[in-house]
Amino acid sequence: MTTELPPAERSQSEARPGLSGSTPATDIAVVRRTLRRLTLVVTTVVLFSIPALFALAGIRALHEHAVLDAAVTAQRVADHATTAGAGWRQAPKDLLPVLDLTPTMGIQVERTLLGPEGGVLMTPTAPVARPVLRSRASVMLDGTRLGEVVVAVSLRAILIETALVFGFAALVAAGLHLVIDRVALRALRQALDHLQAALRERDRALQETSDALALLGRQNARLKTTSEELSRARDAALTADRSKSMFLAAMSHELRTPLNAIIGFSEVMARQLYGPIGHDKYRDYAADIRASGDHLLALIDDVLDLSRVEAGKLSLRREPLDVVEQVEGCCRLVNGRAVDAGIDLQCVADNAADPRILGDRVRFRQILLNLLTNAVKFTERGGLVRVETETGPDRAVTVRITDTGIGMSSVDLERVFRPFERVDVGASRPTEGAGLGLALSRALVREHDGELHVSSVPGQGTVVTLTFPGLTGRSVSDQRRQMSLEDALRDDDAAAL
């Protein structure tokens, strides 16, 4: 329900500036009236304050002069009385030079000498123009009051000067009124034009802002819907990831039991521990079964390690490790495979130092075996795989594995550390494995506080550099540290390697 004002009241409300119906024009009119009033106040203050201040300053100076003149004249009269003795009053003419001795400094001054009873002893020879400002001083001699000196100073000169200053102030006030009334009002009119133009721009900007806000509202609604869908998809992905990890852990564990039996029984059959097998082919089949079982068990171990990493349950048991001993042991394990592939495997150690680190023996050997196996796997017959161990000046231990294999391109280097990713070597050269070795190796190196760098050129080979902090200054006690999925699987450094 709305209530309208009567026409008369509505017109008055619209006519009054500053109300709801005010416009820039009415606001400017109010400012102009206020400015005129302010101009009147300023000119009035200038017109009267300057002459008043000048007059007060002049009167104060005259008063100080009259007081000083009266005091000096009274002292001179007292000195004359001391010289003339008791009969100094009987010769008034002798006092005239005494009264005229005090300089006037260009000011009209008259001096009158009064007796102790107030009678006039000496009158001024030439009275000054009125009005005057008077000052009195007693004539004292040995504590006795002999008379009083009255000094009168003319105010006519200061009044004339004040009138001149008043005229000057009037000119200044008129100039201020003219400047403020003309210049300021012209500036206000220009400001009004700019204000109206700015209002038009504001209205246009407000309309554009309103349209943009409406568009943003629609986009916000779509973003909210998309965010909810992404949140549901993320929850579903997390649930699926947890289910996958649990499934991998369970299946890897369950598969190991029958595989161990298959591997054990196939070895018993291949060695003919309980008697000869009827045909040599069966013995070859048993050897193939065992080799396949070993390969499948290695894949399951990798998958199981990956599931442990994802679950954050892979821990390390740290102990002092002789790096040269571990490297030579891994080289001996891989040497048979290298000989079969026609590859020269060299192991070179820096004997000048004792490279030792704090690490997990099993996991450290797993790192070396994965990298050595890859180097042998991707090197052609007649190639070279070289393992070098060095100790830096800061006791840091470096293990460098260099091969003359097929190498990798920059694209392969960006994805080689991703789980289940394998380098494309063509159909003519099949490769084994599930693509988990390098991802787990880099995770294990990081867990040992080390770094793994890979550099490669297609057709010229690959260099893998492992760097670990030395044992000096580190705790030798057993430690168990859990490795996160982010550390194991991230590939943000692959391009830089």
289-293, 328-332, 480-484: the lowest-pLDDT one = 480-484
Evaluate whether 482 touches 312 at the Cβ level (below 8 Å): yes
Average pLDDT over residues 426-444: 66
Specify the 3-state DSSP secondary structure of 75. helix
Bin 354: left if φ > 0, else alpha if -120 < ψ < 50, else beta.
Answer: beta
Spatial CB neighbours of 412, under 8 Å, sequence gap ≥ 6: 423, 424, 456
Distance CA 49, CA 113 (A): 39
pLDDT in tens, 14-49: 444 444 456 666 767 777 788 778 888 888 998 899
Question: pLDDT-based confidence at 2, cuts 50/70/90?
Answer: very low
**How confident is the prediction for the chain on average, in pLDDT?**
78
The tens digit of pLDDT for each residue in 218-270 reads 999 999 999 999 999 988 888 877 777 677 667 666 776 777 777 777 777 77
Tens digits of per-residue pLDDT, 193-209? 888 888 889 889 999 99
Q: Pick the more confident residue, 386 or 483.
A: 386
When pLDDT is cut at 50, 70 and 90, the band that residue 167 belongs to is very high
Burial state string for 230-266 with b = 16 or more CB within 10 A and e = fewer than 16? eeeeeeeeeeeeeeebeebbeebeebeeebeebbeeb
Q: Mean pLDDT over residues 396-418, rounded? A: 86
* pLDDT, greater one: 326 or 247: 326
The per-residue pLDDT for 136 is 92
The separation between CA 451 and the C-alpha centre of its own chain, rounded to angstroms, equals 33
- What size, in residues, is the chain? 497
